[in-house]
Structure 1
Amino acid sequence: MTPMTDPHNALVSFQAAISSGSIHPHPCPRHEGLFLYVDGPCARPRTTFAMIDHQHTVKALVTGVCDRYVDAIPGFNLGYAVAEPFRRQGVATDILLKAIGEMQFLAAKAHQDQLYVLAVVGVDNLASQAVASRCICESPVLTTDGLSGLPAFLYQRLLSVTD
């Protein structure tokens, strides 16, 4: 059986790209130390928010892809990861809340009134469940991960850009 997607793999790849100088994320205007990088196909670009320190170390990242619409409102599937040395320090909650705030800001600039943020978290991933409960919603729905077929929780929240 295919495992669930692990956002930590994206963090490792993102760090390698930063270290090699092959990507150049832009600073987010609202949060110092948070950077934005957009890539992927035009139809479904991937938005990555990363906490990067002065030594170019990626401490954490949140990736988001608009992969669904719920009642004609765009839904961004989020994945998040924290580099090993920075775990258990509240970094995941911090970056996820900041990334959601930046997404609301960007949606407002694009004249979008609302958006959904979603996270699909494996039933065995207790740390990510705790973060999603704090940042997205407290009452997830039991589901099946579409890629792996494994049981997971779906955390979903409708946001107004004025929240």
Structure 2
Amino acid sequence: MPAMVDPTDGLTSFQEMFKRKIIDVKPCSTDRKLFLHGDQPAPGVMRLSYVRLQGRTVTAFVSFTPAEFIEGRPCFQAGVAVPQTHRGQGRAKEIVRAAIAEMRAGFSRAGIAPFWIEAIIHANNIASQRVAEATISPNRINVVDGNSGDNAFQYLMKVEKSE
């Protein structure tokens, strides 16, 4: 069975394509130091990737991809990664909060809110569990990861429409 999806792979790929100017980003409306790249990794699959930058170096990365609807509303699975040299500075928590605020504003304008954010975290990944508990929900559900069969925790957050 394959391993759980590792967002660090997405960060590494994003960084390489961004440095080579294969992909571009645009500043977000709620935070001009947060940048967005939207793409379709597969037909009909929308992915939103948010980054913090120092020049052309990504210092924090979070990606949201569609997951199964919850209560009839869209759900987006979050994957966050921070380069080794920038870890331990609160960057993961900060970018998750900023990206969710941007999604809330944009999705509210588009009539998509409310929506859900989901994170599936490996049972042994304590650092990512702390990020999810601080940014998505302090509550978690024991699950088995569908890709790897590994024990994991699911964190869910309903994001309401902005005022």
Output the TM-score relative to the length of structure 1: 0.95
Letter in 2 for 1:88: G
Report SS of the residue matched to 1:129.
Answer: helix
Q: Secondary structure at the match of 1:96?
A: helix
**May I ask how many residue pairs the two structures share in their alignment?**
162
Which residue of structure 1 aligns with residue 139 of structure 2?
A: 139
Q: Deviations over 1:82-133 (max 9, x none)?
A: 0111100000000000011111011112112301000000000000000000
**C-alpha separation in 1, matches of 2:76 and 2:106:** 13
The answer for unaligned runs of 5 or more in structure 2 is none
Moved more, 41-50 or 125-134: 41-50
Report the equivalent of 1:23: 23
| Residue number in structure 2 paired with 1:152 | 152
Question: Which consecutive aligned stretches of 4+ in structure 1 deviate over 4 angstroms post-superposition?
Answer: none
Answering whether residue 83 of structure 2 is matched by residue 87 of structure 1, we say no
Length-normalised TM-score, structure 2: 0.95
Structure 1 SS opposite 2:45: coil
Distance 1:121 1:79 in 2: 9
* Cα distance in structure 1, aligned partners of 2:72 and 2:125: 30
Q: Identity rate of aligned residues, in percent?
A: 31
2:123 aligned with 1:102:
no
- Equivalences for 1:1-163 in 2 at 5 Å? 1-40=1-40, 41=42, 43-53=44-54, 55-162=55-162
Give the counterpart letter for 1:45 in structure 2. Answer: M
CA distance in 2 between partners of 1:82 and 1:97 (Å): 14
In structure 1, runs of 5+ residues without a counterpart are none
Partner SS, residue 92 of structure 1: helix
Superposition deviation, residue 150 in structure 1: 0.6
CA deviation digits over 1:40-71, x for unaligned, max 9?
Answer: 14522111001112x21100111001221111
Q: 1:24-45, CA deviations, whole angstroms, 9 ceiling, x for partnerless residues?
A: 1111121132110111145221
**Paired AA for residue 92 in structure 2:** A
Write the distance in 1 (CA, Å) between the matches of 2:108 and 2:137: 22
